[in-house]
Amino acid sequence: MKPEIKPVGDSALLVSFGEVIDDEVNSRVHAIARAMEKADFEWLVETVPAYSSLLVIYDPLKVSYAEVEASIGPLLNAEGRAFEGRLVEIPVVYGSSYGPDIEFVANYNGLNVDSVIEIHSRPVYRVYFIGFLPGFAYLGGIDERIATPRLEKPRLKVPAGSVGIAGRQTGIYPLESPGGWRLIGRTPLRLFDPKREKPTLLQPGDRVKFVPIEESEFRELYKREWGEGFD
């Protein structure tokens, strides 16, 4: 599959394989990013991978757009096996005040709440990329049976640890922030901690398994993780 290359502003270009959520395509995106980093171009500022595209940010004082495009051309055929990182289990208490949209997700898809929980927690998800917030892992490819559109009007405040659905994506809010995903549960784990050696709990290529837990276990784990009781 040949990617499309197009300019983004005056200091970046986008290598795009279309709008898909696919393990093979995402692996190729990361393979190209690794090949560019290995090439150690003096003009390269940063590479930002997404589901099926790679943003290449360069220093326009050191290189022109045409030169960047010519330099990365030979790297676009870089192939890479799907990198499998750690298997990380994410405990989640589903529903009630922790997942206020779970009944909407169920009704929208003609299911009951128990079915939504079972379908959401069954797969092992792949972390495609980190974005939006520090430590926000995009986990694509959820089961079509629970795919649900975003809120028409985003919430001004979503609690850290909230697990949400947006279309065929699922993800976890690492920090309290505004957000428009449909919230179905919450994890007590701290997904982003700037004091840790690796601040983000999840990394691209990691595999994620959601594990349903009861509220009592959530409170115990929350206290252990955050050093304070859950209010």
**pLDDT (tens digit, 9 = 90+) per residue, 131-145?**
888 889 999 779 999
Q: Are residues 95 and 59 in the same domain?
A: no
Among 24, 44, 75, the domain-final residue is 75
- List of residues 6+ apart from 177 with CB closer than 8 A: 133, 157, 158
Q: What is the model's pTM? A: 0.81
**pLDDT (tens digit, 9 = 90+) per residue, 22-74?**
888 888 888 888 889 899 899 999 998 888 899 999 999 999 999 999 999 98
Q: Are residues 13 and 124 in the same domain?
A: no
User: So what's the pLDDT on residue 148?
Assistant: 97
Q: Is the pLDDT of residue 231 over 70?
A: no
Give 53-57's long-range contacts (Cβ < 8 A, gap of 24+).
53/14, 53/15, 53/16, 53/17, 53/29, 54/14, 54/15, 54/29, 55/8, 55/12, 55/13, 55/14, 56/12, 56/13, 56/14, 56/15, 57/11, 57/12
- Identify which of 131, 138, 188, 130 has the alpha carbon closest to the alpha carbon of residue 159: 188
**pLDDT (tens digit, 9 = 90+) per residue, 146-167?**
999 999 999 999 999 999 999 9
Q: Is the pLDDT of residue 208 over 70?
A: yes
231 part of a folded domain: no
Q: Are residues 23 and 127 in the same domain?
A: no
Q: Domain containing 221 — which CATH number? A: 2.40.100.10
User: So what's the pLDDT on residue 88?
Assistant: 95
- Identify which of 148, 139, 144 has the alpha carbon closest to the alpha carbon of residue 202: 139
What residues make up the domain containing 61?
4-75
Q: Are residues 122 and 199 in the same domain?
A: yes
81 part of a folded domain: no
**Could you give the number of structural domains in the chain?**
2
Q: Render 65-130 in DSSP notation, one character per residue.
A: HHHHHHHHGGGTT---------EEEEEEEESGGGSTTHHHHHHHTT--HHHHHHHHHSSPEEEEEE
State the amino acid at position 76 in one-letter form.
L
User: So what's the pLDDT on residue 124?
Assistant: 93
